[in-house]
Amino acid sequence: MNLDIFLPFHKKTKKGQEPPKPTRLGRVARAIFPTTFFSDPASGKKGLLRRVLQNIGTTWHSSPWRRVVQAGFFVAFLAFFCYVCWPYGGSGYAEHRESKEKVAAETFLILDPLVSLSTAIASRSWVWSLSAAAIILAVCLYVPRGFCGYVCPLGTAIDLFDWAIGKRVNRFKLKDDTRGWWVNLKYYLLVACLVAGCFGILLTGFVAAIPVITRAMLFIVSPLQMGATRGFYQVPSWNWGHAVSLALFAGLLGLGLFRRRFWCQYVCPSGALFSLGNFFRVAERKVESSCISCNKCVEVCPFDAIKTDYTTRAADCTLCQSCGGVCPTHSIKFVSRWDFSNLKKEEAPPERRPSRRGFLTATLTGAATAVSVQRLFGASVADTAAKDLPIRPPGSVPEQEFLEKCIRCGECFQACPNNVIQPMGFQQGLEGLWTPAVNANWAGCESGCNNCGQVCPTGAIRALPMEEKKVARMGLAILDEGTCLPLAGREACQMCVDECRAAGYNAIEFARVRVQVDEQGQPLPDSGFLAPVVLADKCVGCGLCQTRCNLINVKAKKLLRETAIRVEAGPGKEDRMSSGSYVQLRWEERKKREAAAPKAGGDSYLPDFLKEK
């Protein structure tokens, strides 16, 4: 087995020496590109490819293929977020997303094994993305921690930060060989997350790689994208949740001032899972005896994965192969773990193993955090009578399970065409932080859109087909009879009825109120007002009615202080089901209603007593 993909250090062939055979990748490249691209070992003249790469930078020069792959994945990540998830043209939101979504928009989230693992533990259920996690872990047996070096968009973002800022600030830099208490932090963090998960608290969203970068995109890139393309008035207001998330992200990037990829090497719990997976690796970096101890590989390694004796910290090596490309004696190879030929030195055991004390502390911390999050800052799910329960997106699983499954990645917010769902701050305590809630004052849920469920990586919002989503109740519109303009006798208004009809729900109908009568008690034509009446059996709580009431009556005309129609959540007002069909539920309800309805009792169009006198 040989996994070399680096661009070998360029050496002029000495007289009488055989020129080095090109690698497999090299042979393929030579078949495609003209010869001017490639160096000539005999004359020592560098080819075009090498000269260009040299100008870009050392890592591009030493292992260009890795950088190309990394860039490709990063572009894919950006495309998923900024193109597939949003924006949409016209009003066919679901169709438009579907037409763009050749590969699942949440691919990166389901590839992060910690996302699915911790969600499965917290909710004690099978999460379908576990299978995707298993696949990426299997691939990483061949390319240990390859996810971190090649795929992870957070890693790439950190690389970009280092290129733009990190490498120019030397004030905080650690010395190359400093390895302190922090080097095993990632394992402790991983254990803490999983222990908290056992207590039903999902902390992973704070620290797992892909949720962190997705949320950063949501809070930094998404408002800019929205503002630049649609106008900044369309960017919803911020809350403390945004500030906390941004502060965490800034801190994470700031770690890069200590050392390149400090976060990835020492802190990232998703990375820790891959490091653990490395126990079972079948390939690794090896150093041959021709090594001249020039230290170039140690300098270029972005992951602090090369020890002072030039052997490999296999748990940290991403197989980026930058070292291979800078080695002047071609002593570094990426081969089978059990290939011991011609080695400079047998691998020694890791020098700083995670300590028992560290794990114990992590376990206790995880448990304590979980308990305190629940007890002190919890969502008090049991208190369903509480006012202002958050209205969850359509198809959300029951609240307790929802909090256990929602990884707080932010993908649903981006996929929502009009920012109907917005991240919560601390209204529900720490437990509800960054979870999606409907802000019907801002916008209503479009009847023809089911995108939030389709992009949810953990199934906290079920991926409902359109016909199911259309009847899934997320809340119930409640009319304030004291303030509703026609009900209060102030003026005619039927915006909520129009909205509901246009959306196809027909859940609000008219009743004429405040009718004036003449002396005989007969109603005067056109007297009174047409007022809305919500039909509870048809309302799904989309909030379109509330949006219109807010935008026009509250904001534009300033007739009301708050909307006269409001969507409310709670038992009996919403359907929260882990499985099963909403269509079926509606059908059963209808059957029940029909059974209770007055019976026609043999009425006929023309009753017998009227037939031909």
The residues that touch another protein, with contacts defined as CB under 8 A, are 89-91, 230, 233-234, 417-418, 443, 502, 506, 509-513, 515, 517-527, 530, 548, 551-552, 555-556, 594, 597-607, 609-611
* Residue 477 phi, psi (nearest 5): -75, 125
Instruction: Tell me whether residue 385 or residue 606 sits nearer to another protein (CB atom).
Output: 606
Calculate ∠ Cα 553-558-564, nearest 5°.
40
Nearest distance, CB of residue 590 and another protein, angstroms: 10
479: closest CA among 547, 534, 529?
Answer: 534
Instruction: Tell me whether residue 383 or residue 518 sits nearer to another protein (CB atom).
Output: 518
Length of the chain: 613
Instruction: Tell me whether residue 449 or residue 474 sits nearer to another protein (CB atom).
Output: 449
- Does residue 390 contact residue 570 with C-beta atoms inside 8 Å? no
Instruction: Tell me whether residue 32 or residue 610 sits nearer to another protein (CB atom).
Output: 610
Tell me the C-alpha distance between 189 and 314, whole Å. 20
Instruction: Tell me whether residue 482 or residue 598 sits nearer to another protein (CB atom).
Output: 598
Instruction: Tell me whether residue 177 or residue 519 sits nearer to another protein (CB atom).
Output: 519
Instruction: Tell me whether residue 134 or residue 524 sits nearer to another protein (CB atom).
Output: 524
Nearest distance, CB of residue 195 and another protein, angstroms: 44
H or E, element range at 510: strand 508-513
Please, which residues have CB within 8 angstroms of residue 480's CB and are 6 or more apart in sequence? 563, 564, 565, 566
Nearest distance, CB of residue 89 and another protein, angstroms: 8
Q: Could you tell me the sign of the dihedral formed by the alpha carbons of 597, 602, 604, 609, in that order?
A: negative
Q: At what angle do helices 269-277 and 113-123 cross, to 10 degrees?
A: 100
Nearest distance, CB of residue 93 and another protein, angstroms: 10
Nearest distance, CB of residue 498 and another protein, angstroms: 8
Tell me the C-alpha distance between 408 and 210, whole Å. 10
Nearest distance, CB of residue 560 and another protein, angstroms: 14
Nearest distance, CB of residue 421 and another protein, angstroms: 15
- For the record, the structure tokens of 404 come out as 């256990």
Instruction: Tell me whether residue 16 or residue 607 sits nearer to another protein (CB atom).
Output: 607
198: closest CA among 358, 404, 378?
Answer: 404
- Does residue 113 contact residue 270 with C-beta atoms inside 8 Å? yes
Bridge partners of 591, per DSSP, are: none
Instruction: Tell me whether residue 262 or residue 529 sits nearer to another protein (CB atom).
Output: 529
Q: For the chain, report the end-to-end CA distance as a whole number of angstroms.
A: 102
Instruction: Tell me whether residue 273 or residue 560 sits nearer to another protein (CB atom).
Output: 560
Nearest distance, CB of residue 519 and another protein, angstroms: 7
- Does residue 137 contact residue 146 with C-beta atoms inside 8 Å? no
Nearest distance, CB of residue 394 and another protein, angstroms: 18
Nearest distance, CB of residue 244 and another protein, angstroms: 27
420: closest CA among 402, 397, 393?
Answer: 393
Nearest distance, CB of residue 226 and another protein, angstroms: 11
Please, which residues have CB within 8 angstroms of residue 390's CB and are 6 or more apart in sequence? 424, 427, 428, 432, 435, 437, 438, 569
Instruction: Tell me whether residue 168 or residue 599 sits nearer to another protein (CB atom).
Output: 599
Nearest distance, CB of residue 418 and another protein, angstroms: 6
199: closest CA among 343, 76, 378?
Answer: 378
Half-sphere exposure of residue 34, counting CA atoms within 13 Å on the CB side? 2
Instruction: Tell me whether residue 313 or residue 548 sits nearer to another protein (CB atom).
Output: 548
Nearest distance, CB of residue 105 and another protein, angstroms: 20
Tell me the C-alpha distance between 574 and 444, whole Å. 16
Instruction: Tell me whether residue 32 or residue 597 sits nearer to another protein (CB atom).
Output: 597
- Does residue 377 contact residue 431 with C-beta atoms inside 8 Å? yes
Give the per-residue SS3 of 277-337: HHHHCCEEEEEECCCCCCCHHHHHCCCCCECCCCCECCCCCCCCCHHHHHCCCCCEEEEEC
- For the record, the structure tokens of 46 come out as 């560098």
Nearest distance, CB of residue 521 and another protein, angstroms: 5
266: closest CA among 162, 321, 187?
Answer: 187
- For the record, the structure tokens of 87 come out as 């924006």
Instruction: Tell me whether residue 134 or residue 502 sits nearer to another protein (CB atom).
Output: 502
Calculate ∠ Cα 377-543-87, nearest 5°.
90
Tell me the C-alpha distance between 224 and 212, whole Å. 18
